[in-house]
């Protein structure tokens, strides 16, 4: 069992010491935080997360305390994250409310943790989210996030709750209009606490008036926030508050977005600093930086390290092209003689044709249905001049074959996966350009794990990860967007798979190649030809490209068809090293030698040069 699995097991078992230690790790962003996040990544999204906020003096902690008692009475387990605006050490007085809440702390189904607002690395809202994630993974039915005050940070923090309760003290009637508009906008339910005070009635009316104005603008069937009264110190009205929280949670469909919750994609980078006496600088003390990045979807880590390598010259491919021509099984004249055919029941005539592209079975199959598409009659097509129509015809042929072949498989889910291994350094045994097509119930470890992560993302945020990512990168702020051609957007992934900088394209709103019309495939082919030319000008003359689809039968909307292009070292006499190292092979760690943002800038520059 590795360390992450060990963490996962102890947190899932709700081992209090493990939970407390995991929270400290993410709160202080220690080295263990990466392990914790990896351990809990697959256990998120189960807890009901309730935000409780409102101005100071409203009695939020007392209300939370009463809610804990009521939840316990209903057989639930509950965790509370109390965000304190002052440091618990230097802030002095501990509120009486918090002391009363602490009385529940010893209950086996209760966990309470205070977070100080000051001194957090990376922002309080992110820290709070990660603490909530740990408690979610620990299996608490309800996680209550209590924030003090009514400022912008509370609005941000409330973004992580599915149900948001705004607690108002009585006598704030005149202040309702002045109350931060954002706090009112996020409320799913209002509680006028200390309702035994005479001013409570007026506060309630003010809130109702304000809601009446707002509801006239809203949709008829939208959730209308109720205004409830409580006397939290006696427990009066608390049952109704909890009932309203449950009703609100039930009104949210499992796949519907939390109404105010923005899609959260976090791009986490941990800087590493090696201190050495550098022989290249007369043994002066030098600091050398590298990075550990976390893939925002899967939580997998990737390393970005600087390595020097000689300038890449355009290799002379002439000798190799000529040496392979005579024995090529894909050249005209040979292809029909030496390549296999499918039974007529699957493909009438045994092979399929579109333009210059020819499809036939792989003589060395990877799966039940493993086909090859020879893309061109030309034996060699240079990477800086790949004809877009050639690519488009081959992909349309692949699309039509997948549609024909997928229903012949018995499994409940099938994937049609298309791969292009261009030139021998990418593993191609033939120089002649060709695609691999497999139609399979076994999509491979990476795709299976990514799809599972996309299912969790969709359940949690109500929208596809690809769509959220597209929104993040659309404005170019990330620095990783490279090219957009109609519905096809190319970016450099935050965590690259390969050493030299990948690129990936997403097909907006299309989950499989079969869902793509001819126009979309043609737009993709044009953009791919341009991207490949840009890589060639950067000195890279070999690549693997795979189109990663969802299952043919899947209709959840979790996935967008993604083309991932990974450049490969060209094996030439200048370069004797491999582009697969111990990190990838033995540690299962992605490893890049170029910062993705720098790589994206280089690609954009080359694209602009066309």
Which positions touch Zn ion (CB under 5 A)? 328, 330-331, 379, 432
β-strand pairing of 142-147 with 78-84? parallel
Q: Which is nearer to Zn ion, 126 or 432 (CB)?
A: 432
DSSP string, 360-411: EE-SS-SSSEEEEEE--SSS---GGG--HHHHHHHHHHHHHHHHHHGGGS-S
Give least dist CB 273 to Zn ion, A: 51
**In what helix (H) or strand (E) does residue 607 lie, and over which residues does it extend?**
helix 596-608
Residue nearest to Zn ion (CB): 328
Q: Which is nearer to Zn ion, 325 or 448 (CB)?
A: 325
Give least dist CB 330 to Zn ion, A: 5
Cα separation, 164 vs 167, whole angstroms: 10
Give least dist CB 431 to Zn ion, A: 7
Give least dist CB 375 to Zn ion, A: 11
Give least dist CB 567 to Zn ion, A: 23
170: its two tokens: 């009585």
Contact 204, 175 (CB under 8 A): no
Give least dist CB 417 to Zn ion, A: 24
Q: Which is nearer to Zn ion, 379 or 506 (CB)?
A: 379
Give least dist CB 430 to Zn ion, A: 7
Q: Which is nearer to Zn ion, 39 or 435 (CB)?
A: 435
453: its two tokens: 């992560």
Q: Which is nearer to Zn ion, 330 or 465 (CB)?
A: 330
Q: Which is nearer to Zn ion, 432 or 460 (CB)?
A: 432
Collapsed DSSP state (helix, strand, coil) of residue 116: strand
Cα separation, 160 vs 375, whole angstroms: 49
Give least dist CB 328 to Zn ion, A: 3
Contact 496, 592 (CB under 8 A): yes
Contact 504, 565 (CB under 8 A): yes
Q: Which is nearer to Zn ion, 235 or 332 (CB)?
A: 332
389: its two tokens: 């129509």
CB neighbour list of residue 303: distance below 8 Å, 6 or more residues apart:
290, 291, 292, 293, 583, 589, 590, 591, 592
Give least dist CB 423 to Zn ion, A: 13
Give least dist CB 427 to Zn ion, A: 17
Q: Which is nearer to Zn ion, 249 or 331 (CB)?
A: 331
Q: Which is nearer to Zn ion, 89 or 326 (CB)?
A: 326
Contact 416, 437 (CB under 8 A): yes
Burial 40-71 (b: 16+ CB within 10 A, else e): bbebbbebbbbbbbbbeebbbbbbbbbbbebb
Cα separation, 106 vs 217, whole angstroms: 47
Collapsed DSSP state (helix, strand, coil) of residue 594: coil
Q: Which is nearer to Zn ion, 376 or 419 (CB)?
A: 376
Cα separation, 7 vs 13, whole angstroms: 10
CA distances from 75 to 140, 142, 162, 344, 432 (A): 11, 11, 21, 63, 67
How is residue 610 annotated by DSSP?
Answer: -
Q: Which is nearer to Zn ion, 363 or 471 (CB)?
A: 363
Angle subtended by helix axes 16-28 and 32-40, to nearest 10: 120
Give least dist CB 339 to Zn ion, A: 12
């Amino acid at each position: 069992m590795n360390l992450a699995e060990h963490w996962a097991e102890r947190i899932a078992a709700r081992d209090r010491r493990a939970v407390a230690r995991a929270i400290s790790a993410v709160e202080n962003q220690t080295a263990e935080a990466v392990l914790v996040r990896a351990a809990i990544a697959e256990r998120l999204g189960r807890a009901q997360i309730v935000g409780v906020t409102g101005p100071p003096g409203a009695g939020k902690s007392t209300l939370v305390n009463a809610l804990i008692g009521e939840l316990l009475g209903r057989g639930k387990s509950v965790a509370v994250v109390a965000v304190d605006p002052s440091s618990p050490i230097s802030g002095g007085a501990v509120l009486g409310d918090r002391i009363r809440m602490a009385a529940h702390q010893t209950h086996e189904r209760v966990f309470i943790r205070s977070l100080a607002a000051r001194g957090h690395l990376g922002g309080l809202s992110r820290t709070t989210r990660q603490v909530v994630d740990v408690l979610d993974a620990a299996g608490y039915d309800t996680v209550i996030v209590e924030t003090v005050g009514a400022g912008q940070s509370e609005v941000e923090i409330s973004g992580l709750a599915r149900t948001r309760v705004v607690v108002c003290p009585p006598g704030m009637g005149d202040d309702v209009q002045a109350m931060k508009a954002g706090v009112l906008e996020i409320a799913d339910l209002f509680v006028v606490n200390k309702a035994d005070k005479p001013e409570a009635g007026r506060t309630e009316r003010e809130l109702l008036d304000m809601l009446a104005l707002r509801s006239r603008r809203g949709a008829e069937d939208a959730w209308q926030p109720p205004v409830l009264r409580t006397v939290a110190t006696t427990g009066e009205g608390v049952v109704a508050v909890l009932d309203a929280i449950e009703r609100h949670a039930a009104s949210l469909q499992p796949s519907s977005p939390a109404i105010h919750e923005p899609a959260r994609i976090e791009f986490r980078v941990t800087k590493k600093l090696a201190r050495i006496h550098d022989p290249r600088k007369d043994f002066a003390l030098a600091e050398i930086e590298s990075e550990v990045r976390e893939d925002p979807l899967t939580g997998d880590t990737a390393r970005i390290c600087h390595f020097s390598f000689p300038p890449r010259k355009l290799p002379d491919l002439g000798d190799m092209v000529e040496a392979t021509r005579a024995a090529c099984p894909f050249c005209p004249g040979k292809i029909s003689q030496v390549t296999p055919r499918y039974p007529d029941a699957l493909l009438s005539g045994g092979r399929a044709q579109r333009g210059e592209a020819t499809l036939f079975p792989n003589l060395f199959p990877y799966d039940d249905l493993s086909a090859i598409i020879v893309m061109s009659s030309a034996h060699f097509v240079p990477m800086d001049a790949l004809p877009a129509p050639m690519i488009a015809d081959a992909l349309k042929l692949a699309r039509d074959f997948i549609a024909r072949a997928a229903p012949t498989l018995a499994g409940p889910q099938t994937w049609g996966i298309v791969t292009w291994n261009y030139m021998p350094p990418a593993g191609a045994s033939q120089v002649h350009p060709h695609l691999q097509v497999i139609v399979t119930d076994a999509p491979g470890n990476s795709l299976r794990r990514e799809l599972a992560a996309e299912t969790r993302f969709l359940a949690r945020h109500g929208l596809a990860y690809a769509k959220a990512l597209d929104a993040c990168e659309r404005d170019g702020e990330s620095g990783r967007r490279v090219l957009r051609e109609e519905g096809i957007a190319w970016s450099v992934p935050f965590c690259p798979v390969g050493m030299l900088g990948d690129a990936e394209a997403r097909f907006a709103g299309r989950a499989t190649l079969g869902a793509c019309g001819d126009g979309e495939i043609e737009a993709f082919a044009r953009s791919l030809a341009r991207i490949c030319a840009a890589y060639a000008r950067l000195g890279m003359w070999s690549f693997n490209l795979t189109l990663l689809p969802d299952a043919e039968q899947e209709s959840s909307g979790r996935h967008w068809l993604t083309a991932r292009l990974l450049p490969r070292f060209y094996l030439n006499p200048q370069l004797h090293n491999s582009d697969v190292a111990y990190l990838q092979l033995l540690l299962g760690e992605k490893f890049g030698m170029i910062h993705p943002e720098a790589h994206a800038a280089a690609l954009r520059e080359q694209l602009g040069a066309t």
